[in-house]
Amino acid sequence: MKEMTATEVQQRLEAGEKLNLIDVREVAEVQAGHIPGIVNIPLGLLEFRMHELDKNTPYIMVCRSSARSGQATAFLAAQGYDVANMVGGMLAWEGQVE
């Protein structure tokens, strides 16, 4: 499974790179604070909404601690998507939050 640290993600965003971040936490968790520009697809809905994602686009999966995003990464990778898990999740995130 591909992984990226929260610091790597933050540095790439701050360098102006356009990243496709999918936050798999529940809606209330995301409303409490999230990385600007994320798409929220709760883990329980991922299997029903994965048609919204493009297999040719790289995605970075995010959650609170990286457990749920790890599950999401493994699931989507098995379906042929280009995905990486943000290790440490929002607990490790030190960048901007909305």
Q: Catalytic residues, which ones?
A: 63
Q: How far apart are CA 30 and CA 23, in angstroms?
A: 8
